[in-house]
Amino acid sequence: MQKNTFARIVCSLLVEFVLLLTACGGASATPSLREQSLVTEVAALQTQLAMTIVPSAPTRMALTPTPTLDAIATRLDQYIQGQSGFSGAVLVAQKGKVLLEKGYGLADRQNDVPNTPQSKFAIGSMTKAFTAMSIMILQERGKLSVQDPICNYIKDCPATWKAITLHHLLTHTSGIPNYTNFFDKFHMCEAYTPDDVVAKFKDLPLDFAPGDHWSYSNSGYFLLGMVIEKVSGGSYENFIQENIFKPLGMADTGYDRASTIVKNRAVGYSFDPTSKQPVNIICIDVSLKFAAGALYSTVGDLYKWDQSLYTDQLVSKETLNTIFTSTVVVPVGGMGMFPDGGMYGYGWVIAQPAGHRTFEHVGSVPGFLTYFVRYPDDQLTVIVLPNVDNLDTASINRGLAAIALGIK
């Protein structure tokens, strides 16, 4: 029966009961059999009606409790501690909350100095993101265009470079050979001028026609540093300090001159293949890295940099979209350090590991193998800065992200 039918029956019986009482001049001390029968029927139907109108409480399903931030932080910490031989600093943050910011191992093995979140690490090619941002700042100021030919800015520019634009340099599509592939032409501990370095590769034939495909080349970003100096009228080091580091409060980031005393600088270590023991890195003068890889930083400063890229503090949102957009394909394992492949923007690889969009870059110089990944849709940042260069830093970074995203 439907609840409306029950209601009609109850009302009908109540009316009959009232009429009966009225006819008898009110309730008597001893109710008749009919009165007793009506009371019993009304009570039974009221009970059934109530059960029909008020459904029973649904069965509750057991739910997995959402991990607390402390629990996630503990898992992240345990994960790093489980990585054999890890030495460096790590930061993981999501939606504006730092989940883990911690140092591991030793920054200086000889003097038994531990790594901390304040330790400063050479970041190698993560420098390229700052170089690209500098070019885009100058473009917004009307000082240059990414479509300008490189020969507008380089003296004695070879004829083979005439079709190469700043865009080609930014996206590793210029075809200019990668000068770090023939470091044997340099005395690694000596200082060079930018012109001296370029002289080592500018007369070499191009690896491919400009724009033909992607091939990682430090030469392109070295040349972009020279463009920044020519257009700004000052040094590359000064430009990024005044236009990026100071506005963002990145006081622990700078140009990695070996001759400059830098507090909390971590020593980089390579592992000897015979003894399997860490050894101090070989000397590489900062002039050989320049705008392609000369910076040092901390996990905290790089997080400030990361957060600024959600704003228009340095450049407009339109320019940021240009930086993080590209149709230039990076092959899987490109450069041997981009495990998921993807696309190359301006100073960033755009990938899609496990269905989560990322902006990322590796940094590799002897003694350091760093990895910085931004998950913009998840508002997740994972920064791994080791001061040893024998680790699979990309996998470590992905493992931390999986924990933070709840997929591991």
Band (19; pLDDT cuts 50, 70, 90):
very low
How do residues 296-349 score in pLDDT, each as one tens digit? 999 999 999 999 999 999 999 999 999 999 778 887 766 555 666 788 999 999
Determine contact, residues 129/373, Cβ cutoff 8 Å.
no
58, part of any domain: no
Q: Give residue 232's region: left, alpha or beta (phi > 0; psi -120 to 50).
A: alpha
Q: Of the ranges 84-98, 174-188, 209-223, 266-280, which one carries the lowest mean pLDDT score?
A: 266-280
Predicted pLDDT at 326: 79
Determine contact, residues 386/393, Cβ cutoff 8 Å.
yes
Range ranked top by mean pLDDT from 65-69, 93-97, 254-258: 93-97
Q: What are phi and psi of 142, to 5 degrees?
A: 75, 20
Q: Residue 26: which domain range?
A: 3-53
Q: How far apart, in whole angstroms, are the C-alpha atoms of residue 221 and residue 168? A: 10
Examine the domain organization and report whether 38 and 91 are in the same domain.
Answer: no
Examine the domain organization and report whether 155 and 275 are in the same domain.
Answer: yes
105, part of any domain: yes
Examine the domain organization and report whether 234 and 260 are in the same domain.
Answer: yes
64, part of any domain: no
Query: How many C-beta atoms lie closer than 10 Å to residue 191's C-beta?
Result: 12
Examine the domain organization and report whether 206 and 344 are in the same domain.
Answer: yes
How do residues 101-113 score in pLDDT, each as one tens digit? 999 999 999 999 9
Examine the domain organization and report whether 43 and 111 are in the same domain.
Answer: no
Predicted pLDDT at 336: 54
126, part of any domain: yes
362, part of any domain: yes
The position carrying tokens 């920064």 is: 383
How do residues 253-301 score in pLDDT, each as one tens digit? 999 887 777 899 999 998 777 777 777 767 789 999 999 999 999 999 9
Predicted pLDDT at 331: 75
Predicted pLDDT at 5: 47
Examine the domain organization and report whether 158 and 246 are in the same domain.
Answer: yes
Predicted pLDDT at 186: 86
Examine the domain organization and report whether 157 and 9 are in the same domain.
Answer: no
Predicted pLDDT at 30: 46
Say what percent of the chain tops pLDDT 70. Answer: 81
The position carrying tokens 């540093």 is: 225
Examine the domain organization and report whether 264 and 203 are in the same domain.
Answer: yes
CATH number of the domain bearing residue 303: 3.40.710.10
Examine the domain organization and report whether 37 and 183 are in the same domain.
Answer: no
Examine the domain organization and report whether 191 and 327 are in the same domain.
Answer: yes
Amino acid at 63: L
* Rounded (5°) CA angle 38-39-45: 85
Determine contact, residues 346/135, Cβ cutoff 8 Å.
yes
Q: Of the ranges 7-16, 138-147, 172-181, 341-350, which one carries the lowest mean pLDDT score?
A: 7-16
Predicted pLDDT at 304: 98
- Flag whether pLDDT at 162 surpasses 50: yes
- Flag whether pLDDT at 71 surpasses 80: yes
Predicted pLDDT at 339: 66
What is the count of structural domains for the chain?
A: 2
35, part of any domain: yes
Task: Look up residue 155 and give its DSSP letter.
Answer: T
How do residues 121-136 score in pLDDT, each as one tens digit? 999 999 999 999 999 9
Q: How far apart, in whole angstroms, are the C-alpha atoms of residue 399 and residue 228? A: 37
Q: How far apart, in whole angstroms, are the C-alpha atoms of residue 352 and residue 145? A: 29
Using DSSP bridges, classify how beta strands 358-365 and 254-255 pair: parallel, antiparallel or unpaired: unpaired
For the chain, what is the largest distance between any 2 Cα atoms, rounded to a whole number of angstroms?
Answer: 124
165, part of any domain: yes
Examine the domain organization and report whether 195 and 252 are in the same domain.
Answer: yes
Is pLDDT larger for residue 278 or for residue 197?
Answer: 197
Examine the domain organization and report whether 87 and 23 are in the same domain.
Answer: no
Q: Average pLDDT, stretch 360-379?
A: 95
Q: How far apart, in whole angstroms, are the C-alpha atoms of residue 150 and residue 153? A: 6
Q: How far apart, in whole angstroms, are the C-alpha atoms of residue 73 and residue 159? A: 56
60, part of any domain: no
Mean pLDDT of the chain, nearest integer? 85
Predicted pLDDT at 50: 45
- Closest by Cα among 312, 318, 305 to 244: 305
Distances 158 to 149, 151, 212, 225 between C-alpha atoms, Å: 12, 8, 19, 18
